[in-house]
Amino acid sequence: MTLFRFCNCTLIRNHALIVDDLWIRHGKIIDPEKVFFDERIQADVEYDCRGVLVAPGYIDLQINGAFGHDFSSPDEASEEMLLLVAQKLTAHGVTAFVPTVVSSKPETYKAVLPKYKRRAGSAKDGATILGIHIEGPFIDEKKRGAHRTDFLRTAPNGIEDLLSCYGSFNDVSIITIAPEIPNMIETVIPELVQKHNIVVSVGHSIASLDIGERAVCAGARFITHLFNAMLPFHHRDPGLVGLLTSHRLPTTSIVHYGLIADGIHTHSAAVRLAHRVHPQGLVLVTDAVPALGLPDGTYHMGAEKILVENKRATIAGTQTLCGSIASLAECVQNMRQALLDGEISKHGEVKIDKQFVVECIDAATLHPASVLHIENQKGTLSFGADADFIFLDDKLNVLSTFIAGEQAWTVNDSWSINNLRTKNSSQ
């Protein structure tokens, strides 16, 4: 099988930027030293990447739709629709994502969920589908955000209620629940985690820190869009935000938290706060609404009407934010700017931009992969990982996207793979 060598790359590896080559075969990143000494062959095809920044492809754990398509709409849900979104998301540097379904009626879940199967990505099919994120309806009414009250539920019968509501747990990767709902901590979370291998995320909740800690001890490991749809941090009851510095969590794994860095949902000071306090847990998510990628106008999400105007998406007729329309690539840029802003005002000069670039990219790659326990395969450029990667310029704009080693998208002709090739001796 053809051995590809991408020369002259500035790679993100082991939390640092290093100048090195990237070797790919069979859609995986391989160790060139092993190939050199054990197989004694040279690359068949070589590309000169002109020193460009090469990062793992971005991974989005919370996205409600995009390019006008709504994952929660039973009328639109289909394999073709998901495929289309998966293909178009490559323009944002996204190589894997988790389509998210908001609080809905049981009939809707049964119509919609079976259409979204896990699927490996490719240049032809676009980003990998990592499973489904079901956000709700077992959430708290007071923190429902844009979710409809009449769809919210409790679980007096424990996990049975979730199963009868959703229909099945097949292809479900993440479920967001409010842990204070009776039975969640006692039975639902442990069963979801241990029996069904599903990542439980806490959110849309009025839980105290104590309840949050018990949820994590029961198996929850993610916080849905930190700061949004939960109690604000209070110095005598830190609420779910306090999980970032809790001293009563199991030490075996860390708690990750989603953060919407669209410049609107989270103030840059809050981004810096969370980052300084618990950087390894930070996961950038878009929580994007179907309007992502579309110009200003009105669109549908779930059973709601959404207004998009001036980079804000609100429920038509209210001031309630209902998700972001910033791409994951823009979120990475926003996070980097937020970190830089913090440094400039403190020291008067920028010394650690390179480290920030690495951390912001980790937040959109390695960290989301860790949430799903796939950090050896996705979200990394380590040997053996899937060859999902992107080219970025120094402002972190996406120049090109590769999935399983093949170019899935390029911003212009100059970054087309044909124009980078310097050697081709494959048959």
| Contact region with other proteins (CB under 8 A), list: 33-41, 306-314, 340-348, 368-376 | 33-41
Given the residues 70, 287, 386, 388, select the one marked as catalytic: 287
Binding of residue 21 to other proteins (CB under 8 A): yes
Nearer of residues 32 and 114 to other proteins, judged by Cβ? 32
Helix, strand, coil shares of the chain, percent, nearest 5, are 30, 25, 40
Q: Are strands 16-25 and 4-13 parallel, antiparallel or unpaired?
A: antiparallel
Instruction: Work out how close the CB of 25 gets to other proteins at its nearest, in angstroms, rounded to a whole number.
Output: 15
CA gap 107, 386 in Å, rounded: 36
Confirm whether residue 76 is marked as ligand binding: no
Of residues 14, 18, 26, 33, which one binds other proteins by CB under 8 A? 33
Reduced 3-state DSSP string for 35-82: HHHHHCCCCCEEEECCCCEEEECEEEEEECEECCEECCCCCCCCHHHH
Of residues 14, 26, 42, 280, which one binds other proteins by CB under 8 A? 42
CA gap 115, 302 in Å, rounded: 16
| Contact region with other proteins (CB under 8 A), list: 38-46, 291-299, 309-317, 319-327 | 38-46
Reported residue count of the chain is 427
Binding of residue 50 to other proteins (CB under 8 A): no
Nearer of residues 37 and 236 to other proteins, judged by Cβ? 37
Of residues 16, 18, 26, 34, which one binds other proteins by CB under 8 A? 34
Q: Which residues have a Cβ under 8 Å from the Cβ of 259 and sit 6 or more positions away?
A: 225, 226, 227, 266, 271, 274, 282, 283, 284, 285, 335, 363
β-pair partners for 101 = 134
Dihedral of CA 25/26/27/31: which sign? negative
Instruction: Work out how close the CB of 39 gets to other proteins at its nearest, in angstroms, rounded to a whole number.
Output: 8
Binding of residue 48 to other proteins (CB under 8 A): no
Binding of residue 74 to other proteins (CB under 8 A): no
Instruction: Work out how close the CB of 381 gets to other proteins at its nearest, in angstroms, rounded to a whole number.
Output: 16
**Ordered DSSP codes for 240-307:** GGGGGG-SSS-TTSPPEEEE--SSSSS-HHHHHHHHHH-GGGEEE---B-TTTTS-SEEEEETTEEEE
| Contact region with other proteins (CB under 8 A), list: 35-43, 71-79, 252-260, 368-376 | 35-43
Nearer of residues 39 and 80 to other proteins, judged by Cβ? 39
Binding of residue 171 to other proteins (CB under 8 A): no
Q: Is 231 helix (H, G, I), strand (E, B) or coil?
A: coil
Integer angstrom CA distances of residue 42 from 2, 34, 39: 10, 11, 9
Return the structure tokens found at 21.
């080559």
Nearer of residues 33 and 394 to other proteins, judged by Cβ? 33
Told to judge if 48 belongs to the known catalytic residues of this protein, a careful annotator would answer no
Return the structure tokens found at 395.
């402002």
Instruction: Work out how close the CB of 22 gets to other proteins at its nearest, in angstroms, rounded to a whole number.
Output: 12
Of residues 32, 74, 158, 190, which one binds other proteins by CB under 8 A? 32
**What is the residue whose two structure tokens read 């399983």?**
404
Confirm whether residue 66 is marked as ligand binding: no
Of residues 1, 41, 235, 319, which one binds other proteins by CB under 8 A? 41
**Ordered DSSP codes for 146-171:** TS-GGG----TTTHHHHHHHHS--TT
Binding of residue 37 to other proteins (CB under 8 A): yes
Binding of residue 36 to other proteins (CB under 8 A): yes
Confirm whether residue 234 is marked as ligand binding: no
Instruction: Work out how close the CB of 26 gets to other proteins at its nearest, in angstroms, rounded to a whole number.
Output: 20
Confirm whether residue 77 is marked as ligand binding: no
Instruction: Work out how close the CB of 17 gets to other proteins at its nearest, in angstroms, rounded to a whole number.
Output: 17
Binding mask 325-344 for other proteins (x = CB under 8 A): --------------------
CA gap 422, 406 in Å, rounded: 16
Amino acid at 102: V
Question: Residues annotated in the binding site, as ranges?
Answer: 135, 146, 204, 225, 228-229, 236, 265, 321-323
Question: Residues annotated in the binding site for Zn(2+), as ranges?
Answer: 135, 204, 225
Interface residues toward other proteins, by CB under 8 A? 21, 31-34, 36-37, 39-42
Active site residues: 287
